[in-house]
Amino acid sequence: MLYHHIIGAGGILLGIGSGFVAPGVCSITLLSEFCSIFLIFREMQENKFSPHPLSMLNQTIFVVSYTFLRVILIPYGLYILVSVTYLYTFELLPLWRKVMIIWAILQVVLLSIFNFFWYYKMLIGLFKMFGCIKSKNGKSGKGSVEEFLGE
């Protein structure tokens, strides 16, 4: 968990130091933490696998916000950052800012890899919950919140 904060704080500082589009991408990555509210709410529940409608609504909002903020918006911000930096401004930057922008881009790429890994696990759980694929024990798992979470 500490690594997450080191990457986040380092990426924000590098983005601010490198300038141009990077601070905007930092804002996008901070905005992506919005979906963590719903994940933390799940952790506060006594029965994490409750079939209660509010619990299912919470999980649905989490998946939708995760999809939009982390799977769509962060890679789009990375695309904008790379295209603007390398097409228009990279040759104009001093060496220290070039190093900062390259390091910031690498951190956003690493963050995106982690986001896609967790999204893959969520989709597998979602498919198990709806019975599209079988779980390890051979059951379809239709409607099971455990299957939705991939557990």
**What is the full DSSP assignment across 67-117?**
IIIIIIIHHHHHHHHHHHIIIIIGGGS-HHHHHHHHHHHHHHHHHHHHHHH
Q: What is the pTM of this model?
A: 0.75
Most confident listed range (21-35, 47-61, 69-83, 97-111):
69-83
Give the chain's mean pLDDT.
79
Q: How far is CA 13 from the centre of its chain?
A: 19
Residues 6 or more apart in contact with residue 20 via CB below 8 angstroms: 84, 85, 89, 101
Tens-digit pLDDT profile for residues 72-104? 999 998 898 888 888 888 888 889 888 888 888
